[in-house]
Amino acid sequence: MFALRPLAGALLTSVLLTGYAAGPAAASVRESAAVSQAALAARPGNGKVLYDRISGGEGILKIKNGTGKDGVVTLVRGKTKAFSLYVRAKSTASFKRVDDGTYTVYFTTGYRFNSSKRKFTKSAVYQRFNDRLKFNTTATQSTIWTLTLNPVKGGNARTSGVNPKDFPA
């Protein structure tokens, strides 16, 4: 859900994501440790830019992930993917070089991210926000958007499910 509020000459957005999935269960302690070590080795760091085709604007996108699942947020301008940012569960990450323009925001959450396939392999959910984000820079200010990937009291953003085949990986 979006809740739009002015913040120091910029816009602040809060987002609501519903539909939590339970964490993966392990068959044994030994198997669980092996899976955890393998997952940690392949799991991208918080704030890792997975894709970047932005030339260095002044806009800022801040993502707060209060869920128990890792997430990837992808901005698309027109039909062109602009960038993707990895945000670990219970973490916050920012991208500070967003070019001016209007973007559609896609996001996926899940467990066990596969970097080569650019997708989660367990409990993946694919969505997009119905409203687009507009970044605009002037001589005295730039736009800041904050997306919060957990329930926000008073939020009003609407999302739509996305077919995984249509997700901009």
Please report the pLDDT score of residue 55 as a whole number.
Answer: 72
Q: Is residue 107 in a domain?
A: yes
Please report the pLDDT score of residue 25 as a whole number.
Answer: 37
Number of domains comprising the chain: 1
pLDDT at 44 over 90: yes
Rounded-to-integer distance, Cα 169 and Cα 167, Å: 6
Return the minimum-mean-pLDDT range out of 18-32, 89-103, 140-154: 18-32
What average pLDDT does the segment 136-164 reach? 88
**Domain around 142:** 5-20+31-166
Confidence of residue 111 (pLDDT cuts 50, 70, 90): very high
Nearest to 22 by CA among 92, 110, 118: 110
pLDDT at 52 over 80: yes
Q: Is residue 26 in a domain?
A: no
Q: Whole-prediction pTM value?
A: 0.75
Q: Is residue 45 in a domain?
A: yes
Q: Is residue 57 in a domain?
A: yes
Q: Is residue 25 in a domain?
A: no
Please report the pLDDT score of residue 41 as a whole number.
Answer: 54
Return the minimum-mean-pLDDT range out of 30-34, 79-83, 153-157, 163-167: 30-34
Q: Is residue 54 in a domain?
A: yes
What average pLDDT does the segment 129-151 reach? 92
Confidence of residue 149 (pLDDT cuts 50, 70, 90): confident
